[in-house]
Amino acid sequence: MRTMTDLDITADEPSPIPAERLTVVPANEASWEDIAAIFGTTDAGRCQCQRFKVAGWIWRDSTQEERTAMLRAQTACGDPDAPATSGLVAYVGDEPAGWVAVEPRTAYPKLRTSRVPWTGRDEDKDDDGVWAVTCFVVRKGHRGRGLTYPLARAAIDFARERGARAIEAYPMTAPPGKVITWGEMHVGARQVFEEAGFKEVGRPTTRRVVMRIDFPGDAGTW
């Protein structure tokens, strides 16, 4: 049974999204207008998925305009032939509805200095064959409909097709009775990744887990 750890805390339309209405595409195949609509103007719109990328403290050392420009450049939105992009965009019908950030782990400078990925593990921080899922955003009006689940599954295929040897995530867990907010769960919930096939490989804090899938040797190349 799915619980509030789905990340989908509120529900304007609580019914699950039918698979036939859902499409997930690389962000470079989406327009900037669609991506901006998903991020909106609240927490996600202010961060612009730059928490693990900006130097220094995100709000003090960068401006809104800088973060917005960074996201637009990283996604290469509107350029289907771009050699790289930074995430996936989900559509419900023709409406942009969700985002997941997924790139080589080396693309996130702040992961390098965070203890979360490395506690109790012997990992090469310069290994760009390991990819990471770092953020979900679900547009208001589509929350409570399980959209993070297909986004997590799509991130696996996206990374593997582009040559990843493994993919990791750093989700939060929610203790029984603990009220959680959308903001703190932007990294994903354990259950979302567990259902996608990720396995726990570390627990750096009481509420944070490291989860991973290792691909066989025939992973594709971009």
Cβ-based neighbours of 207, under 8 Å, separated by 6 or more: 172, 173, 174, 175
**What's the first-to-final CA gap in the chain, in angstroms?**
36
Q: What's the CA gap between 27 and 87, in Å, rounded?
A: 5
Entry pTM = 0.88
Q: What's the CA gap between 219 and 113, in Å, rounded?
A: 28
Q: What's the CA gap between 217 and 131, in Å, rounded?
A: 15
* Average pLDDT value for residue range 210-214: 98
Considering Cα of 202, then 145, then 161, then 52, what sign does the dihedral take?
A: negative
Q: For residue range 135-156, what is the model confidence (pLDDT) as tens digits?
A: 999 999 898 899 999 999 999 9
Q: Domain 4-8+19-214, what fold?
A: Aminopeptidase (3.40.630)
Classify strands 87-92 and 95-104 as parallel, antiparallel or unpaired.
antiparallel
Name which of 69, 83, 63, 82 is nearest 32 in CA terms: 69
* Average pLDDT value for residue range 169-180: 77
* Boundaries of every domain in the chain: 4-8+19-214
CB atoms within 10 A of CB 160: 19
Stronger pLDDT, 222 or 137, i.e. the higher one? 137
